[in-house]
Structure 1
Amino acid sequence: MPDLKFEDVSITYQTSGPNSRGEVTAVKSVTLELPAGGTLGIAGESGSGKSTLAMSALRLLPKNARLGGRVLVGDTDVATLSFGELRALRWAQASIVFQGAMHSLNPVHTVGEQITEALEIHITDRWKTPHARESRVRELLDIVDLAPEKAQSYPHELSGGQKQRVMIAMALACEPEIIIADEPTTALDVIVQKQILDMISRLVTERGISLLMISHDLSVLSTACERIAIMRNGSLVEIGESRMICTEPNEPYTRKLTEAFPTIGDPASRMRPVTRHGAGADEPGTSEPSDEVLLSAKGVNVTYHGSGHLRAVRDVNLEVRRGEIVALVGQSGSGKTTLARALMGLQHTDPGSAISFGGNPLPTKGRELKKFRRRVQLVLQDPSAALNPKLTVYESVAEGLRVQGIPGDERERVAQALIDAELYPPENYFGAIPQELSGGQRQRVVIAGALALHPEMIIADEPVASLDASVRGEILGLLLSLKKRLGLSALVITHDLGLAWNIADRVAVMYHGEIVEQGPTESVLLNPQHSYTRQLLAAAPSVRKVSV
């Protein structure tokens, strides 16, 4: 079984075009080793160079990349391989689990066909015939705990966790000796995430596979890797055993990463997300919610009618007070987003459902509904999808003002919204397009678009699900700051219990369309009464739960 070695590796990109930055160095003189049968995690924020380094192991870098140093699989320098030799290396000796399963799988082919493709490219005696390959596909699906009939499914017919399992099955198809997993659990809920991590750990142990895992989340890496390397700005900052890196790091940057993901029950992180100002910088204004109920839902039901009847939301009762942040937590498919759409008037509810805002029933059409949506704004999960790639930041933020016909100085209002979203000086962002911004900046632009209308409440759907540690803290700090400075109310939909501990006044737990438990954050998270809440808490990773 081969080692994987990076010897003094540097990688630069040659950029071109009107906004060219010239030669950009993504990786700077990194030396790392993954011994045969070992497990190594690489952590760092977006732009740290961790994925670029890992992609070089299979020569998957774009054409404008230049590699210095050597990448060795066993004694073989990957850079010297011919195309045929490289093709033999990929899948058979080393394979990769890409970050976005939905974007990595072909939407027009069944998952069985996509797994079979790797077997057809790398034929061995074990799967020389179509029947043998079909048998191998069933075996692989069983290994990743998927039913054999899932081979006939298309990617859109599977959940996020199931798609990620298919990606792992593809990576295992040709019995590789090294697996590279790039953010394999990003945006998965805590229970599915634990299932995926447990499965990866089991496969590594049972099959003696070498694992290189990339993540911005140290708590994820600590559950699967013996050693962790920390990268920042392309350089290797620190490397050591997982327990040491997570609990006794030597470098300030590593400590910053460990502190960015709060431990539920730790008073130091309660209402104190880590931002660039430090942990929970004080803000002017009050942080206590009023007794006024701003949003009220009573007996809300939502049923989808298709080939059958699916009750997605069941008898939900929920309140959000003025100046309060409520976290709605639960697994994917629990009904959280459907409920949010119903509260916004974007989803029809069943007869008998009662939703009110400011003491008045939720309008259903016309001018009144338009006025309501000015008072309540929705912040979508994926800022890249929420923003039009052809519109500048100014146009994106001003769009709501124009739709609502808001009078006054548009430029001044857009500038103030960007300032409120902590994008300043705002003029520096007016002409930028989304692709020129970081993930955190794009999320702030989406929030600025909501704030431009001076709403009384925002409903944020997984606002930090795909963001790295420091950016996550910045966005959570921003939400808490808006509550304190502007008295803004928020319903934050999330599968991240650490987020609830960081910023929520109250927590509502949703399971199979029902709210099974709700109350003050400390009561729900420290003394859960429902078995499902306890299951969520047990599955939540933490840097203090180092198991290796």
Structure 2
Amino acid sequence: MTSPPPLLELRNLGVTYRSAAGDVHAVRGVDLTLDKGETLGIAGESGSGKSTVAASVLRLLPKSATVTGEVLLDGENVADMRWGRLRAVRWSEAAVVFQGAMHALNPVQRIGRQIAEPIRLHGTVAGDAADPSEAPGESGAPAGHTAPSEAEVDARVRELLAQVDLPPSKARSYPHELSGGQKQRVMIAMALACRPRLLIADEPTTALDVVVQAQVLDLLGGLVAEQGIGLMFITHDLSVLASTCRRIAVMYRGEVVESGAAKDVIAAPGHEHTKALAGAFPTVGDPLSRYAPATTAPLPETTGPDPEAPVLLSARDLRVHFRDRTGATVPAVAGVDLDVRAGEIVALVGQSGSGKTTLARTLLGLQRPTSGSVRHDGEPLPTSTSALRAYRRRVQLVLQDPSSALNPRHTVYESVAEGPRIHGLDGDERERVVAALEAAELRPAEDFLPRLPHELSGGQRQRVVIAGALALEPDVLVADEPVASLDASVRGEILGLLLRLRARLGLAGLVITHDLGLAWNIADRVAVMYRGELVEVGDVEQVLLRPQHDYTRSLLDALPAATADDR
């Protein structure tokens, strides 16, 4: 008796992009299989080809792409499918959960309507999905199928919301009224709307805090176990794949360089790139990764701040209140006391909505406090426009996304020179810009001066943002998720840079993050924020290895587990 074909099979898959500079071989000779009820993780950095592989499954590649080899879905070659067949397959047999749910949802449509759209389009609400072999009619649904009634659609939307653990009331919400984790759940509900048998999740937990990440991973794992769907999970974070997928394939420069059982790949990586990915996300408590992020540049021999160093930035009984739609008072920051000393790196950790970004904005003078005080070098936070400008020169912000922080039309020189010009700093401007770029380890600086942001890698863009801050000669850097959008190896380079800047320039740092591994990597102290309060503050070893508060323990418990043997 002939065994059924795999749910998904890639045979010698190759993808080449045409560009003005010549052909780019993005994927070369990839062979992968995935059966119903299985989980396959694909790991790799940006440019490794992993997202191109995912896009090739449903022919979502641009016209500039040439595909060779075969992509077989239930034994049927996707390349041979007519448009009507492919259109139905994209929802009823395979669906994609894209990265960045906050950008993928329509901001002016309610959540329920967006979840209902594929249901109305394909005419499926209950039982098995409509037969995808049938050509779609004018409505977009397969011919011969009756369009679902509004009551059936509403019932299916409620069912999907419950499936992703969201209350039915969220159907009436707009995307901006949901948290990042809730938006990602909505994207999963949309992907499940027509009951596909294959789910492709492309970086679905990037930039989510550890608790929400754990919830999304549990949700995906539950779908595999309960519904028997096949899951292809794509990310650069091996620790996430280890807790989610039974098998892992590691891609590098368009090729699969290592594959096998997740526990084997994680425990004993054979390829150098796999080792680099594994080393970029350290285990909290591992003494070898303390003050030692994965980096190729040398790190300072001495680490840790001077306990007697002066306090540069402080908050005392700081409170920030907002009002919701009903007029009720919402305490975003509720009585915070915090010190950042010269030469010290403090990690401010907590879930989305904990108040950490509001606290940082208030420390920077971008948000007026309701009560309490902020002091810099012993002086109260100024209130006049000119004094605030001078203050912000000393306390500089480094944003999470370097792509949005840089003007796409400005060269590197213009981007770094902008701050000194605004503040009217004396001295030779070019010398100041070059010195800042050198300090941010963009060397030789002259090679970068004429470049535009799109000509730089993600890590280089983040270094330009840091150089723009350094050009003002600050004594405190406030870094908001400074590596959340960067690749694994680049992450280590930027964290290593922050440690070197602390050693060379005596810079203090307040790093806002949901990444406890980052705190373990580079921070001297950790401040844990929950519902507007600092519930635990202390040395990294004390807080992360011997937590006293239940919320801190919950953050540590939410870190990805070592293996996914139960998946």
Interval containing the TM-score (normalised by the shorter chain)? over 0.9
TM-score when normalising by structure 1: 0.96
Partner Cα separation in structure 1 for residue 242 and residue 302 of structure 2: 39
One of 222, 225, 229 as aligned partner of 1:209: 229
Q: Deviations over 1:50-92 (max 9, x none)?
A: 0001110010001111111111101211111111111011110
Partner Cα separation in structure 1 for residue 287 and residue 301 of structure 2: 21
- 1:328 correspondence with 2:348: yes
- The one-letter amino acid of 1:266's match is D
Partner Cα separation in structure 1 for residue 445 and residue 172 of structure 2: 51
One of 189, 195, 201 as aligned partner of 1:169: 189
One of 489, 496, 501 as aligned partner of 2:508: 489
Partner Cα separation in structure 2 for residue 355 and residue 73 of structure 1: 60
Partner Cα separation in structure 2 for residue 254 and residue 370 of structure 1: 46
Q: Equivalent residue of 1:423, what SS?
A: coil
- The one-letter amino acid of 1:291's match is A
Q: Partner residue of 1:255?
A: 275
- 1:272 correspondence with 2:274: no
Matches within 5 A, 1:6-405: 6-16=10-20, 21-124=21-124, 126=126, 128-277=148-297, 281-283=298-300, 287-289=304-306, 290-306=308-324, 307-351=327-371, 353-405=372-424
- Bigger mean CA offset, 94-103 vs 362-371: 362-371
One of 407, 427, 446 as aligned partner of 1:408: 427
Q: Deviations over 1:123-161 (max 9, x none)?
A: 137372221111000000000000111111111111100
- Are 1:330 and 1:495, in contact at CA under 8 Å, matched by a contact in 2? yes
Partner Cα separation in structure 2 for residue 328 and residue 485 of structure 1: 23
Partner Cα separation in structure 1 for residue 184 and residue 279 of structure 2: 28
Q: Equivalent residue of 1:275, what SS?
A: coil
- Are 2:119 and 2:125, in contact at CA under 8 Å, matched by a contact in 1? no
- The one-letter amino acid of 2:406's match is L
Partner Cα separation in structure 1 for residue 202 and residue 79 of structure 2: 21
- Are 1:109 and 1:154, in contact at CA under 8 Å, matched by a contact in 2? yes
* CA spacing shift, 1:545–1:58, aligned 2, 3 Å: closer
Partner Cα separation in structure 2 for residue 72 and residue 393 of structure 1: 46
- 1:447 correspondence with 2:471: no
Q: Equivalent residue of 2:91, what SS?
A: coil
Q: Deviations over 1:86-123 (max 9, x none)?
A: 10111100000000101111112111111111001111
- Bigger mean CA offset, 416-425 vs 305-314: 305-314
- 1:518 correspondence with 2:537: yes
- Are 1:261 and 1:542, in contact at CA under 8 Å, matched by a contact in 2? no
- The offset of 1:213, in angstroms, is 0.4
- The offset of 1:37, in angstroms, is 2.0
Question: How many pairs were matched up?
Answer: 540
Q: Equivalent residue of 1:315, what SS?
A: strand
- The offset of 1:428, in angstroms, is 1.7
- The one-letter amino acid of 1:168's match is I
- Are 1:247 and 1:544, in contact at CA under 8 Å, matched by a contact in 2? no
Partner Cα separation in structure 2 for residue 287 and residue 495 of structure 1: 22
One of 494, 516, 520 as aligned partner of 1:475: 494
- 1:539 correspondence with 2:565: no
- Are 2:125 and 2:156, in contact at CA under 8 Å, matched by a contact in 1? no
Partner Cα separation in structure 1 for residue 80 and residue 445 of structure 2: 49
Partner Cα separation in structure 2 for residue 326 and residue 149 of structure 1: 39
Partner Cα separation in structure 2 for residue 305 and residue 226 of structure 1: 46
Partner Cα separation in structure 2 for residue 247 and residue 518 of structure 1: 33
Partner Cα separation in structure 2 for residue 365 and residue 341 of structure 1: 17
Partner Cα separation in structure 1 for residue 474 and residue 125 of structure 2: 65
CA RMSD in angstroms, aligned pairs only:
1.5
Partner Cα separation in structure 1 for residue 399 and residue 470 of structure 2: 14
Q: Equivalent residue of 1:455, what SS?
A: coil
Partner Cα separation in structure 1 for residue 124 and residue 281 of structure 2: 45
- Are 1:285 and 1:485, in contact at CA under 8 Å, matched by a contact in 2? no
Partner Cα separation in structure 2 for residue 117 and residue 398 of structure 1: 48
* CA spacing shift, 1:98–1:286, aligned 2, 3 Å: closer
Structure 1 residue runs without a partner (length 5+) = none
Partner Cα separation in structure 2 for residue 337 and residue 512 of structure 1: 12
Partner Cα separation in structure 2 for residue 545 and residue 124 of structure 1: 33
Q: Equivalent residue of 2:374, what SS?
A: strand
TM-score when normalising by structure 2: 0.93
Partner Cα separation in structure 2 for residue 132 and residue 38 of structure 1: 31
* CA spacing shift, 1:512–1:5, aligned 2, 3 Å: same
- The offset of 1:320, in angstroms, is 0.4
Structure 2 residue runs without a partner (length 5+) = 127-146
- Are 1:222 and 1:547, in contact at CA under 8 Å, matched by a contact in 2? no
Q: Equivalent residue of 1:5, what SS?
A: strand
Percent identity between matched residues is 59
